[in-house]
């Protein structure tokens, strides 16, 4: 089959061939074979994109009234909705996520853009009461040109979380998607073009992180980096961005505790805990990868995980019946398998799974079985390090205090979940967990209007919610003396 062609970058409202980039092939992780040819930008391309974003920022975009930016963003959202089904197929091919995940996922992204559009004309400041002869007020101004750097696990969702608030705030954007999954970003550029966003407001330059990504970060023409990805990359970004003292927001990894108390509705808790262990093939920062289970129900929960793992239909991403596709690329598959070996060497009990699936049509793809470890101690590496594969680590606990202690004994603090029918306990425990998002009797409920982001090593700043705008806006305070009088301190 002919490869899909995405041979141009989108810079300054034009589709342009790379100046010093290259054309590369992107791999379908279910076959291990190329499925599209895509343009990657080089350093000169990134320079062009930053210049275009700067011109658009200084020109039409920051001066446009918020209600007019909102009209354009709504048009963008409507076009996104119309293209969502098609984009879901592309995202499934690029990431390997099954179509039954990507269809509802991409089918909801327009709501993010609508939500941010609705905020574009509400960026009001405050008046601050002072002495009678002083009028003090604040205004919120866009920070400028934003470099948006996204990961490969959920490319379009993590993009919406940056592009939506940035454009609503009046910033312009250079988007650099992950090298493994660039395809939907070109489609996003086409939507921006069709929606009539002024040239340069959104630029799309895929490419390698360590070259064009790093260049974007260090670029003096960029005012802010919005990043989702690995903590180690965030540290590199901080170092590279230090010289220009730009602003940063980081959405980094997680090792989220998902706590099941003995008084929970166990069926519902199991539905959530098994889904949040294996959905996105385990490649989501929010997954409940540490399942903390009260000792009295531990054996039952382990047995249910084993039973339910056997029901997971691993298959081709575009097959409507597939529950779980391949890992998104070969390095991630190798990483997941290495952690299975680490867990076994550490003495955890491999209850089920843990093997690459290589039979028949799975042969060349990056498939792995849904995996469950029992008897996990929170000191083990499989409980401490982010695996990013479909590997659940089941950790027993005795009581509330121990559950909280284990939950918080991690460098991460992104999300957490807990299941209990006792509402007092639910609130009590939720309040003690160090995580940016805590779900009670549900899991992975994420919406445009609910702030999302990490404590501790899981990140800086919040995406979604009205809080998302904060990291794309600067506050300017103006103080006016209505008397116009200023004392001469040297008069006597
Ligand atoms: P990654 O850090 O390897 O790459 C992320 C992006 O950074 C890619 O676009 C990559 O090209 C770019 N990049 C790499 N090196 C760079 C550099 N030196 N300078 C500038 N850009 C650079 O992460 P990944 O493997 O793509 O994504 C997986 C990670 O993302 C996991 O840790 C996961 O938990 C995290 N994640 C977090 C969230 C969240 O919301 N908190 C969501 C999704 C993924």
The CATH code of the domain that includes 432 is 3.40.309.10
Ligand 1 centre to CA of 404 (Å) is: 29
Reference 394, options 405, 379, 378, 408; nearest CA is 378
Of all protein residues, whose CA lies closest to atom 43 belonging to ligand 1?
Answer: 285
Ligand 1 centre to CA of 204 (Å) is: 17
Provide the domain count of the chain. Answer: 2
Q: Which atom of ligand 1 is nearest to the CA of 161?
A: 40
Chain mean position to CA 172: 19
Q: Does residue 301 sit in the same domain as residue 339?
A: yes
Q: How far is the C-alpha of 334 from the C-alpha of 225, rounded, in Å?
A: 30
Chain mean position to CA 220: 25
| 453 assigned to some structural domain | no
Where do we find the tokens 């889904």? 275
Q: Tell me, what's the pLDDT at 379?
A: 98
Q: Which residues line ligand 1 (CB under 6 A)?
A: 149-154, 158, 176, 178-179, 209-210, 213-214, 217, 228-230, 233, 236-237, 251-254, 285, 386, 388, 414, 454, 459
Given a contact cutoff of 8 angstroms between Cβ atoms, the answer to whether 137 and 476 are in contact is: no
What sign results for the dihedral spanned by CA atoms 2, 106, 472, 287? negative
| 70 assigned to some structural domain | yes
Q: Does residue 248 sit in the same domain as residue 261?
A: no
Given a contact cutoff of 8 angstroms between Cβ atoms, the answer to whether 441 and 259 are in contact is: no
Ligand 1 centre to CA of 34 (Å) is: 22
Q: Does residue 264 sit in the same domain as residue 360?
A: yes
| 449 assigned to some structural domain | no
Of all protein residues, whose CA lies closest to atom 39 belonging to ligand 1?
Answer: 251
- Which of the listed residues 229, 242, 339 should we mutate to test ligand 1's pocket, taking the one with most ligand atoms within 8 A of CB? 229
Q: How far is the C-alpha of 103 from the C-alpha of 126, rounded, in Å?
A: 42
Other beta carbons within 10 Å of 307: 12
Ligand 1 centre to CA of 231 (Å) is: 8
CB-based contacts of 264-267 (< 8 A; 24+ apart in sequence): 264/419, 264/420, 264/421, 264/441, 265/419, 265/421, 265/441, 266/297, 266/300, 266/301
Ligand 1 centre to CA of 230 (Å) is: 5
Q: Does residue 167 sit in the same domain as residue 230?
A: yes
Residues in the chain, how many?
492
Q: Which atom of ligand 1 is nearest to the CA of 251?
A: 41
Given a contact cutoff of 8 angstroms between Cβ atoms, the answer to whether 175 and 187 are in contact is: no
Q: How far is the C-alpha of 411 from the C-alpha of 257, rounded, in Å?
A: 12
Pairing state of beta strands 437-440 and 415-419? Answer: parallel
Ligand 1 centre to CA of 107 (Å) is: 23
Q: Which of 394, 414, 440 is the last residue of a domain?
A: 440
Q: Does residue 51 sit in the same domain as residue 182?
A: yes
Residues with a catalytic annotation lie at 162, 251, 285, 463
Of all protein residues, whose CA lies closest to atom 26 belonging to ligand 1?
Answer: 151
| 127 assigned to some structural domain | yes
What DSSP state is assigned to residue 282? G
Q: How far is the C-alpha of 210 from the C-alpha of 323, rounded, in Å?
A: 34
| 473 assigned to some structural domain | yes
Q: Which atom of ligand 1 is nearest to the CA of 176?
A: 9
Q: Does residue 247 sit in the same domain as residue 336?
A: no
Of all protein residues, whose CA lies closest to atom 10 belonging to ligand 1?
Answer: 209
Of all protein residues, whose CA lies closest to atom 28 belonging to ligand 1?
Answer: 229
Of all protein residues, whose CA lies closest to atom 29 belonging to ligand 1?
Answer: 229
Q: Does residue 16 sit in the same domain as residue 152?
A: yes
- Which of the listed residues 29, 180, 228, 235 should we mutate to test ligand 1's pocket, taking the one with most ligand atoms within 8 A of CB? 228
Q: Does residue 17 sit in the same domain as residue 129?
A: yes
What DSSP state is assigned to residue 57? I
Q: How far is the C-alpha of 480 from the C-alpha of 475, rounded, in Å?
A: 16
Q: Does residue 239 sit in the same domain as residue 273?
A: no
What sign results for the dihedral spanned by CA atoms 339, 342, 348, 353? positive
Of all protein residues, whose CA lies closest to atom 16 belonging to ligand 1?
Answer: 209
Phi-psi sector, 247: left (phi>0), alpha (psi -120 to 50), beta: beta
Q: Can you spell out the DSSP letters for 182-220?
A: -HHHHHHHHHHHHHTPPTTSEEE----IIIIIHHHHH-T
pLDDT in tens, the chain (492 residues): 799 999 999 999 999 999 999 999 999 999 999 999 999 999 999 999 999 999 999 999 999 999 999 999 999 999 999 999 999 999 999 999 999 999 999 999 999 999 999 999 999 999 999 999 999 999 999 999 999 999 999 999 999 999 999 999 999 999 999 999 999 999 999 999 999 999 999 999 999 999 999 999 999 999 999 999 999 999 999 999 999 999 999 999 999 999 999 999 999 999 999 999 999 999 999 999 999 999 999 999 999 999 999 999 999 999 999 999 999 999 999 999 999 999 999 999 999 999 999 999 999 999 999 999 999 999 999 999 999 999 999 999 999 999 999 999 999 999 999 999 999 999 999 999 999 999 999 999 999 999 999 999 999 999 999 999 999 999 999 999 999 999 999 998
Q: Which atom of ligand 1 is nearest to the CA of 217?
A: 20
Q: Tell me, what's the pLDDT at 307?
A: 98
Where do we find the tokens 């000169």? 44
Given a contact cutoff of 8 angstroms between Cβ atoms, the answer to whether 341 and 334 are in contact is: no
H helical segments located in 227-380: 231-241, 266-278, 295-311, 330-345
Q: Tell me, what's the pLDDT at 1?
A: 76
Q: Which atom of ligand 1 is nearest to the CA of 459?
A: 41
Structural domain span for residue 282: 257-440
| 123 assigned to some structural domain | yes
The SS3 assignment for 423 reads helix
Q: Does residue 101 sit in the same domain as residue 131?
A: yes
Q: Does residue 247 sit in the same domain as residue 261?
A: no
| 445 assigned to some structural domain | no
| 488 assigned to some structural domain | no
Ligand 1 centre to CA of 412 (Å) is: 15
H helical segments located in 289-369: 295-311, 330-345
Instruction: At 271, list the tokens.
Output: 């539905």
Ligand 1 centre to CA of 151 (Å) is: 4
Ligand 1 centre to CA of 162 (Å) is: 14
Q: Does residue 405 sit in the same domain as residue 469?
A: no
Q: Which atom of ligand 1 is nearest to the CA of 151?
A: 26
**pTM surpassing 0.95?**
yes
- Which of the listed residues 29, 154, 225, 233 should we mutate to test ligand 1's pocket, taking the one with most ligand atoms within 8 A of CB? 233
Of all protein residues, whose CA lies closest to atom 34 belonging to ligand 1?
Answer: 253
CATH of the domain at 129: 3.40.605.10
């Amino acid at each position: 089959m002919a490869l899909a062609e995405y041979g141009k970058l989108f810079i300054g409202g034009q589709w342009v061939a790379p100046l010093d980039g290259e054309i590369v092939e992107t791999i379908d992780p279910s076959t291990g074979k190329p499925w599209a040819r895509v343009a990657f930008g080089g350093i000169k391309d990134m320079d062009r994109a930053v210049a275009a974003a700067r011109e658009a920022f200084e020109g039409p975009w920051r001066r446009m009234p918020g209600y007019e930016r909102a009209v354009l963003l709504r048009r963008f959202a409507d076009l996104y909705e119309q293209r969502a089904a098609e984009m879901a197929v592309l995202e499934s091919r690029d990431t390997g996520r099954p179509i039954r995940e990507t269809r509802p996922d991409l089918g909801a992204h327009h709501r993010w853009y609508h939500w941010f559009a609705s905020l574009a004309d509400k960026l009001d400041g405050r008046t601050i009461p002072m002495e009678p002869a002083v009028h003090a007020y604040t205004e919120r101004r866009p920070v400028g040109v934003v470099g948006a750097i996204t990961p490969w696990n959920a490319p379009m969702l993590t993009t919406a979380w940056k592009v939506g608030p940035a454009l609503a705030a009046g910033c312009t954007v250079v988007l650099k998607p992950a090298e493994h999954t660039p395809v939907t970003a070109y489609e996003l550029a086409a939507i921006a073009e069709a929606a009539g966003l002024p040239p340069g407001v959104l630029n799309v330059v895929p490419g390698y992180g360590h070259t064009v990504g790093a260049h974007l970060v260090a670029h003096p023409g960029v005012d802010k980096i919005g990043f989702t990805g690995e903590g180690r990359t965030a540290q590199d970004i901080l170092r590279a961005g230090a010289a220009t003292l730009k602003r940063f927001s980081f959405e980094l990894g997680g090792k989220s505790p998902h706590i099941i108390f003995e008084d929970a509705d166990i069926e519902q808790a199991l539905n959530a805990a098994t889904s949040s262990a294996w959905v996105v093939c385990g490649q989501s920062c929010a997954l409940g990868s540490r399942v903390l289970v009260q000792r009295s129900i531990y054996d039952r929960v382990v047995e249910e995980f084993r039973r339910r793992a056997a029901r997971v239909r691993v298959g081709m991403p575009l097959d409507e019946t597939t529950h779980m596709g391949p890992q998104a690329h070969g390095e991630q598959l190798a990483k997941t398998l290495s952690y299975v070996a680490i867990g076994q060497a550490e003495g955890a009990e491999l209850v089920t799974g843990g093997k690459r699936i290589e039979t028949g049509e799975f042969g060349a793809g990056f498939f792995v079985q849904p995996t469950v470890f029992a008897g996990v101690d929170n000191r083990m590496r499989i409980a401490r390090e982010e695996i990013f594969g479909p590997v659940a680590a089941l950790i027993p606990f005795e009581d509330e205090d121990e559950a909280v202690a284990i939950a918080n004994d991690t460098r991460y603090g992104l999300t957490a979940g807990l299941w209990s029918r006792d509402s007092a306990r639910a609130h009590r425990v939720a309040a003690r967990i160090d995580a940016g998002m805590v779900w009670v009797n549900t899991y992975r409920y994420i919406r445009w209007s609910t702030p999302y982001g990490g404590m501790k090593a899981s990140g800086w700043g919040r995406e979604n919610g009205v809080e998302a705008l904060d990291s794309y806006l600067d506050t300017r305070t103006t103080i006016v003396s209505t008397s116009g009088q200023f004392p001469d301190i040297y008069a006597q």
